[in-house]
Structure 1
Amino acid sequence: MADSRPKKAKICLCIFLCLLVGGIIAVVVGVRMWRHSSEHMKWNGTGSTARFQEIVLERCYKYTQSVQPELRDRDCQKIREAFRNAFISKDPCSATEEDYHPLMKLVNQMVPCDKTVFWSKTKELAHQYTKVQRDMFTLEDTLMGYIADDLNWCGDAGSYEMNYQSCPHWKKDCSNNFVSVFWDLVSKRFAENACGVVQVVLNGSISNAFDRNSDSCSGSSINDLRQIIRQRNIKFTCQDNYSSGKFLQCVKKPGDSSCR
């Protein structure tokens, strides 16, 4: 009768090796999952906006079909995909303008001359103005600004999921996050495409209206802006309005006798 002990030894060895390999795989997977969950909680900023992709698609359809129907030929499905592909599976602190170039090609839009409105720390007022003057455009009145306004987004390197727990804060974590780089890029393109008369809505009664403290059209930061504009042979005019509440009322009701 043949001795079966060597076979038993081989079987036991195989079982041991399988258990060992299985244990190593479980440890690796566990560590990766722990690291992934830790990364989701490490940032100091707000997480991605809930229903981000649905909101992007809904806003795109509304803008191209109702707000600016002349852009109805834009493909909102491709715009949503390009937006997501710009940041998904990437380090949320390593954003570049190139990440958004495919998206920018899909949403190319020119604002007519004399219709551009810039604002700083006066968002509500500027938008009330363009609601009345419907042919005027702030950045948020363009397709890309309209889609992304007040949204937040980020992913994680190596993950196809969005991070809804936290995203990088531009001061506490990194300035080259995907939201900051996006707004820097679209703001720059919006400014570069401006032509003719350009209107700027600033609050000269607050500090740092234009990089430095200012309290009126004669304030230091507004004077800096005046000099920069005039050095470029661009006409500059500034009008003081000491009652922002009245100004907002006049924007909403331009026919009011108190606004004349």
Structure 2
Amino acid sequence: MNIFILRKFLLVLFFLVLMTINVKSSIKLVKRQSSNIRLERSNSHSINRDDQPVRFSSQTLKKNKNEIKLIPKQNSVNLCNGSYIKTNGTTCGLKEIMIGRCNEYQYLKRGLYLSNTTQIKNCSKLYELFESAARYKPYCNMNMSTYESYFQYALADVNAINRSLFWSGTYTLAHDYSNRGFNYITLEDTLAAAMADGLSWCGTEHAPQGFDYVSCPNNCADNIWADDAFWGLASKKFAEKAAGEVYLVLNGSRANDQPSFRNDSFFTKYELPNLQKTDYN
């Protein structure tokens, strides 16, 4: 009986010694491996750069002071990523188009009303002035002073525009006559207007890009100046610079007996009242 107990004790002792050896070996192995571990800086900054849109889930939380707002899915989506989808919202590639047009205008087309001493405008700065006026700003909060800095910089050093051609309801015909500024100069032949001609945009505070790529308002019932914020001011500035020979192209064959000269046209509201009477024939 004593011999049996002794054997059992020796067997247990043997297993304990064996386990101790394995634990020590494991500790040495971990230490050896840990000496080969190197800590490297995270490359997370290369995933989402400042100039790349950030992907959001179906609902994006936007913290504004002490208030948390839920942003609808459709407003947090930039439809300009991936396959192009035509919408009623902001034109895809708005920034690239406007800066590209600015450079093309100044270095290739260069409007004839610009003198040789007119300074070349910084296209990136000009777009930033435009963007700061519209981005994250609700469209219906705009007014006639919203884009003042943009036009002020674009028209700096431009004292007068001779052979200016105004139009109302005759966009295509007027620009055929103007021939991109070689014959006459329309509003759209000037730098500030040429950059935005034919484009659509509307700011919103409910999208990470600051522009609504889904849908822009057709009109603002509570603010009649919002719809004319850009082109109304553009027309006013163009008229103020007009001098020498001034021309007007109207549509004499409007449908439904509509008059050629309309009281609600841009020409009537913003251009005619701002023509300098002593400076044109």
TM-score (norm 2): 0.57
- Give how far 1:33 is off: 3.1
Which position in structure 2 is the counterpart of 1:101?
148
Alignment partner for residue 33 of structure 1, among 70, 74, 79?
Answer: 70
Q: Distance in 1 between matches of 2:236 and 2:202?
A: 21
Distance 2:280 2:125 in 1: 41
Report sequence identity in percent: 30
Report the structure, 1 or 2, having the larger helix content. Answer: 1
**What CA RMSD, in Å, does the superposition of the two structures yield over aligned residues?**
3.4
Q: Closer, same or farther in 2 for the Cα pair 1:111/1:68, shift >3 Å? A: farther
- TM-score normalised by structure 1 residue count: 0.61
| Structure 2 gap segments, 5+ residues each | 1-58, 63-67, 78-86, 264-272
CA deviation map 1:102-141 (0-9, x unaligned): 2122201537454110001111111111117605210000
Matches of 1:82 and 1:189 in 2, distance apart? 17
* 1:163 corresponding residue in structure 2: 212
Structure-1 separation of matches of 2:178 and 2:170: 12
Structure ID, larger Rg: 2
Contact 2:71 2:207 in 1 (8 A): no
Aligned partners of 2:133, 2:229: CA distance in 1, in Å?
Answer: 11
SS in structure 2 at match of 1:118: strand
Q: Measure, in 2, the Cα distance between the counterparts of 1:56 and 1:233.
A: 35
Is 2:83 the partner of 1:51? no
Q: Give, in whole Å, the separation in 2 of the partners of 1:38 and 1:113.
A: 42
Residue-pair matches, total = 187
After superposition, the C-alpha distances for 1:36-85 in whole angstroms (9 at most, x for unaligned) are 74699xxxx92101110110011000001111175562100101111111
Measured after TM superposition, the shift of residue 165 of structure 1 is 0.3
Distance 1:82 1:133 in 2: 25
Instruction: Answer yes or no: is 1:208 the counterpart of 2:259.
Output: yes
Given that residues 88 and 216 in structure 2 are in contact (C-alpha distance below 8 angstroms), is that contact kept between their aligned partners in structure 1? yes
- Distance change in 2, residues 1:34/1:171 (3 Å): closer
> Contact between 2:76 and 2:206, CA under 8 Å: does it hold in 1?
no
* Gap runs ≥5 in structure 1: 1-26, 213-227, 237-260
Tell me the CA shift for residue 142 of structure 1.
0.3
Amino acid at match of 2:224: S
Q: 2:171 aligns with which of 105, 123, 127?
A: 123
Mapped partners of 1:52, 1:28: distance in 2? 24
Give the deviation of 1:155 after TM superposition.
Answer: 1.5
